């Protein structure tokens, strides 16, 4: 695996109160690759992905041991600003969550919050981001309409565009297609494959087939442990661990 490491988890334990959700997980996320996390409900995969942009610290009574790096930066170090981490490591959730604002404002908001005032720059950035998220042609004539009028699939691509506008480096997808129909799902999957040329991507999915289709690397989680991690083609054709084999062939449990 001679890839450049973009993010790295080192010996991570994570607790909700006294319940241990992650046990000594170490994993590398490679630059310009799609890394998928699969595993049954409650295995810790969503908890794990949320560590990459410090979303878990918003949950009370949680604690973390171990280290997480973005490039060489240890993201939980007291000197690091969580907001800056969340700009560099964007997140797209299961349910599309556009702001109750116009399509344009959804994208420009992040830029304005980051202190950018140049209107021409903002306009250009909005257009570029919407184009990259392959939604521009569908919304270019109604940028001032409410984002809530868009379909679920369009809202999800708008949320992706919102990440792209603020020059994110890593995009975390937490079940991005769980609430979408098959056509919208296919569009998001194609988009993920396009985006990996410029970004590093981590995706959590219940849909094993989706992990197989879009990812370069796959990690299988079970009961808070990373059971197996490797190239997706290897995981799905010749897994090394019998637990991984049982899960991906549906013999689990």
Partner 1 sequence: MERHLDQELADLNKLLLKMGTLVETAIFESIEALKELNAERALKVVSDDKVIDELENSIDECCLDLLALQQPMAVDLRFITMSMNIATDLERIADLAVDIAQRVLDLTGKPLLKPLIDIPKLAGFAKQMSKDALDAFVNKDADLAASLILRDNEVDKLRNLVQKELIEDYMLKDSSTVTRAVPLLLIARHLERICDHATNIAEDVIYMVEAKVVKHHPKTE
Smallest gap from residue 194 Cβ to partner 1 (A): 9
Q: Which of 193, 133, 125 is nearest to 160 (CA)?
A: 133
Among 56, 108, 232, 244, the residue binding partner 1 under the rule CB under 8 A is 232
Task: Name the segment binding partner 1 (CB under 8 A); options: 30-38, 60-68, 220-228, 232-240.
Answer: 232-240
Does 156 sit near partner 1 (CB under 8 A)?
A: no
Smallest gap from residue 186 Cβ to partner 1 (A): 7
Q: Residue 179 burial by CB count (10 A; 0-12/13-18/19+): exposed, middle or buried? A: middle
How would you classify the pairing of strands 34-38 and 217-222? Answer: parallel
DSSP state for residue 4 in the 8-state scheme: P
228 vs 235: CA distance, rounded Å: 8
Does 63 sit near partner 1 (CB under 8 A)?
A: no
Residues 206-225 binding partner 1 (CB under 8 A) are 209, 212-213
Cβ partners under 8 Å of residue 46, min gap 6:
174, 175, 204
CA atoms within 13 A on the CB side of 248: 27
Does 82 sit near partner 1 (CB under 8 A)?
A: no
Q: Classify 114 as helix, strand or coil.
A: coil
Longest CA–CA span in the chain (Å) reads: 57
Q: Classify 11 as helix, strand or coil.
A: strand
Does 173 sit near partner 1 (CB under 8 A)?
A: no
Does 151 sit near partner 1 (CB under 8 A)?
A: no
Among 5, 80, 116, 193, the residue binding partner 1 under the rule CB under 8 A is 193
Smallest gap from residue 187 Cβ to partner 1 (A): 8
- In this complex, which beta carbon is closest to partner 1, that of residue 189 or of residue 228? 189
213 vs 211: CA distance, rounded Å: 6
Does 186 sit near partner 1 (CB under 8 A)?
A: yes
Does 236 sit near partner 1 (CB under 8 A)?
A: yes
Give just the sign of the alpha carbon dihedral 126, 192, 223, 26.
Answer: negative
Smallest gap from residue 50 Cβ to partner 1 (A): 26
Q: Which of 29, 14, 4 is nearest to 63 (CA)?
A: 14
Smallest gap from residue 10 Cβ to partner 1 (A): 29
Does 83 sit near partner 1 (CB under 8 A)?
A: no
- In this complex, which beta carbon is closest to partner 1, that of residue 84 or of residue 234? 234
Among 233, 240, 242, 252, the residue binding partner 1 under the rule CB under 8 A is 233
- In this complex, which beta carbon is closest to partner 1, that of residue 174 or of residue 189? 189
- In this complex, which beta carbon is closest to partner 1, that of residue 6 or of residue 196? 196
13 vs 157: CA distance, rounded Å: 33
**Footprint of partner 1 (CB under 8 A):** 186-187, 189-190, 193, 209, 212-213, 232-233, 236-237
């Amino acid at each position: 695996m001679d890839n450049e490491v973009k993010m790295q988890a080192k010996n991570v334990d994570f607790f909700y109160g006294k319940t241990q959700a992650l046990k000594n997980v170490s994993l590398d996320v490679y630059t310009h690759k799609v890394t998928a996390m699969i595993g049954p409900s409650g295995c810790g995969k969503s908890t794990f992905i949320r560590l990459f942009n410090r979303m878990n610290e918003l949950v009370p009574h949680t604690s973390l041991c171990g280290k997480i790096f973005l490039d060489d930066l240890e993201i939980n170090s007291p000197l690091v600003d969580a907001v800056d981490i969340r700009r560099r490591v964007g997140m797209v959730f299961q349910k599309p969550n556009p702001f109750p604002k116009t399509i344009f404002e959804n994208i420009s908001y992040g830029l304005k919050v980051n202190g950018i005032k140049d209107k021409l720059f903002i306009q250009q950035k909005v257009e570029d981001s919407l184009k990259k998220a392959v939604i521009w042609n569908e919304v270019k004539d109604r940028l001032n309409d409410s984002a809530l009028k868009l379909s679920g699939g369009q809202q999800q691509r708008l949320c992706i565009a919102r990440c792209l506008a603020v020059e994110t480096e890593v995009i975390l997808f937490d079940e991005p297609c769980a609430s979408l129909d098959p056509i919208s799902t296919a569009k998001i999957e194609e988009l993920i494959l396009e985006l990996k040329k410029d970004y590093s991507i981590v995706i959590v999915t219940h849909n094993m087939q989706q992990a197989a289709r879009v990812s370069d690397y796959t990690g299988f989680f079970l009961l808070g442990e990373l059971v197996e991690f490797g190239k997706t083609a290897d995981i799905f054709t010749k897994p090394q661990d019998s637990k991984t084999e049982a899960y991906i062939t549906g013999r689990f449990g």
